[in-house]
Structure 1
Amino acid sequence: MDEFLVWNPEEFDDVKQISIPTANVWVPDILINEFVDVGKSPDIPYVYVGNDGLVRNYKPIQVVTACSLNIYNFPFDVQNCSLTFQSWLHTTKDINITLIRTPDEVKEDKNVFMNQGEWELLHVLSKYKQFSVDSNEYYAEMKFHVVIRRRPLFYTVNLLLPSIFLMVMDIVGFYLPPDSGERVSFKITLLLGYSVFLIIVSDTLPATAIGTPLIGVYFVVCMALLVISLTETVLIVRLVHKQDLQSHVPQWVKHLVLEKATVLLCIRNKKFCPLLSQGSDLPLYKENNMNTAVRCNHHSCEGSRDTGRNLSLGMTVRDTSPPVMDSILHEITSIRQFMEKKDESREIAKEWLKVGYVLDVLLFRVYMVTVLAYTITLGTLWSVWQNA
């Protein structure tokens, strides 16, 4: 309202409105405090002036403004950006800022918002206040709070679901036999795939020095869980192949793992693992599978079946020369030692494999509890944010 641009329409052929070049009319220096770049707008050289002194300047302004973003809940975040209109030079004696429409009308007006993009307009809040630089002069300002919400469907499909699928496959990978090398290669493939996935989505996540979005923490923890899963697999595979050291399982390990842990974990048939009975990977040598047992001395060598010790082969070697007999005896002794050593190696393999299977079940359940606790924590944080 310009009190110097008032006239009586009856004195000027009932003219109530005219257009005047903007350069010929005083225009207030109303600016937006959040400006970070020069405003871009089409050049409209005229303003409308009414006979009551109302000057209408319909020049649209496209501006780049600074907005304090809260990215903790990305991509389910709601942002509140402010636009503050005020005059830098004139006080309320010269310029006073008010709304043409009521605050409720401004709050519910969404017609001018482009609703097909990434953001959804919730409402616009307006607030008027006066502030003073010194005790005698007051300045007026009008602040608009534009509340917008991000549409999370794109980020959910491209970020959250692939990560969840990889974590589910990591859990399924525990059902592979620990004594085979397939589990290690499977876990390494998952870890490599997740690393490539993080490289791809790194440009999608908002980068700030103030804080990290919750989804970024989620990705890091998922990567850590994959590393822990791979480490557990490597340890179990090394344990079930510990028979290479030719050392038996210590008694305290047998007591804790094969007796206490099996009862605690409710594992059936605690003395013999069910998977060991298959014998696919470890063809266990049993002494009763030997068809014959050979007994020799310096003068004779006779063989008998284990089930019939009284049946003699009837072979005497008295006429055989002593050098040949010593050679046969040496070969038989070597075979016997080899079979005993092989049988001992099989027993060691059985013991360590039992321990490996029990520890694998234990670590798998601990891993599942960790994943469950992590899921509950994320759900709790999400609920707290939703309620806030």
Structure 2
Amino acid sequence: MDIILYNNAHGSPTIAAITKADVYANGSVFWEPPVVYNSMCAIDIKWFPYDEQECYMKFGSWTYGGFELDMVHLDTDVVEHVSQENGTVWNVELGVDISEYQESVEFELLSVTGRRHEKRYPCCDYPVIDITYFLKIRRKKLFYTVNLMIPCVGIAILTSFVFYLPSQSHNKINLCINILVSLTVFFLLLIEIIPPTSLTTPLIGKYLIFTMCMVTASVVMTVIVENTHYRNANVMPPFVRHLFVKLFGRYYNYHPPSSPLRKSGQKSLPMNAFRTLEDHFQRWGKKGDGTDKTQPKNIFGSAQNPPNAVAFLRRSTDAFPAVPELLRRRVYRMNRNIRYIEQTVHRTRRNKDLHSDWIFVAMVLDRLMLVFFSVTILVGTLYTWFSAPSLTDYRMPITTKFPPKPLLF
């Protein structure tokens, strides 16, 4: 008998073991050769590790036609008869005897259907008969969920926590690089697990690529945040101040640091010095000749418009004509030194104030990126997990509770 497996992957389509057959008086022949079939099956890894595979085994005669050798399903209660243009198809819900079926630790058996084809070809006047068995299997989820998906999700979650670290922390870049390296090693381990194919990208591969893109983006954004944090004397553009300080700062209930320079005004230091000089001049003028002939004028202006050195000396000469020239020169140098101190303090406070504003912008950027990355990773993770059809497939696998269905050729 030359019934062979058409999609044989072993190389030899025939049964090598020769065993005896049982021949009955009514002409029936019962033959049970011990054989292990190795068939080819196209693996679709689109939804790996939550994938379902459908493999088939096609049996038929290599020599005889349908008039000489017929193959039918035996003891079948449910048979679906379908007529087609070039032949007839008989579908059987359970076409294989699974009484001795041993459950796999990796796959679940969902269905084993049989399909008898009776086709006619233009070359021949007899039908060609074959029986094809379709085995639908589903990968068990526990192993790959624990060993692949959960670690990958944990790495993705760590990406968003990078922006929870303070901006002045130097470990932000180190954490980003460590996450990227661990993800790369994880990706190399995945390559050894999944079947090598260029037809499609598996689900876990898509999620790893998504996570790697998020980690790379986090590295770039961390560099930008660090650069923003350590900007010292650069003047902040108006749109940056309006966007991050006023708009987003108010939205996140953040307030920029209040500068002492802005509170007290820029001229507070020199005005105090000038008031001190005024007191000294008044005391000196009263003691000059024992009389109070000349009342000093208000030569020091207001807090909003303090005098410069030239105006100060001119007014001091008019108000105190007895002031010696040496004292005026000393007062002039004192005024110049006070101006220098005032400019230095103002410049220092201004740079410190600008640096505080940039620190505040970096802090707002950190919070923005924390929210953005958290939402993006959450949406991407949920979309990846629940896009696999098998996660919402609640069909129970086939067990050995079904009665045996022997086949007859």
TM-score range, shorter chain: 0.7 to 0.9
Worse-matched range after superposition: 196-205 or 131-140: 131-140
For residues 206-245 of structure 1, what are the structure 2 equivalents within 5 Å? 206-243=195-232
Map of 2:116 onto structure 1? 128
Worse-matched range after superposition: 147-156 or 364-373: 364-373
Map of 1:250 onto structure 2? 237
- List gaps (5 residues or longer) in structure 2: 79-92, 284-323, 395-409
Q: Distance in 2 between matches of 1:375 and 1:155?
A: 16
Superposed displacement of residue 359, structure 1? 2.4
Equivalences, count: 335
Query: Which of 38, 42, 50 is the aligned partner of 1:76?
Result: 50
For residues 272-351 of structure 1, what are the structure 2 equivalents within 5 Å? 272=256, 339-351=345-357
Superposed displacement of residue 97, structure 1? 0.8
Secondary structure of the structure 2 residue equivalent to 1:66: coil
Answering whether residue 195 of structure 2 is matched by residue 189 of structure 1, we say no
Task: State the AA in 2 paired with 1:49.
Answer: V
Post-superposition Cα deviations, 1:259-290, rounded to whole Å, max 9, x if no partner, equal 12334xx22243x2xxx69xxxxxx997999x
Instruction: Answer 1 or 2: higher relative contact order, Cα 8 Å, separation at least 6.
Output: 2
Identity %: 23
Q: Distance in 1 between matches of 2:277 and 2:386?
A: 73
Classify 1:51/1:305 alpha carbon distance in 2 versus 1 (closer, same or farther; 3 Å).
Answer: farther
Task: State the AA in 2 paired with 1:237.
Answer: E
Map of 1:363 onto structure 2? 369
Superposed displacement of residue 254, structure 1? 1.2
Answering whether residue 35 of structure 2 is matched by residue 35 of structure 1, we say no
Q: Distance in 1 between matches of 2:180 and 2:224?
A: 17
Q: Distance in 1 between matches of 2:77 and 2:15?
A: 26
Secondary structure of the structure 2 residue equivalent to 1:202: helix
Query: Which of 231, 239, 252 is the aligned partner of 1:267?
Result: 252
Post-superposition Cα deviations, 1:118-137, rounded to whole Å, max 9, x if no partner, equal 12222311111211233511
Q: Distance in 1 between matches of 2:386 and 2:189?
A: 28
Query: Which of 358, 372, 397 is the aligned partner of 1:352?
Result: 358
Answering whether residue 149 of structure 2 is matched by residue 173 of structure 1, we say no
Query: Which of 375, 378, 383 is the aligned partner of 2:381?
Result: 375
Map of 1:98 onto structure 2? 72
The question of whether the paired residues in 1 share the 8 Å contact of 2:273 and 2:338 is answered with: no
Map of 1:145 onto structure 2? 134
Post-superposition Cα deviations, 1:57-95, rounded to whole Å, max 9, x if no partner, equal 211221221112222121222211111111121111211
The question of whether the paired residues in 1 share the 8 Å contact of 2:269 and 2:342 is answered with: no
Instruction: Please say which structure displays the higher CA radius of gyration.
Output: 2
TM-score (norm 2): 0.69
Classify 1:310/1:193 alpha carbon distance in 2 versus 1 (closer, same or farther; 3 Å).
Answer: farther
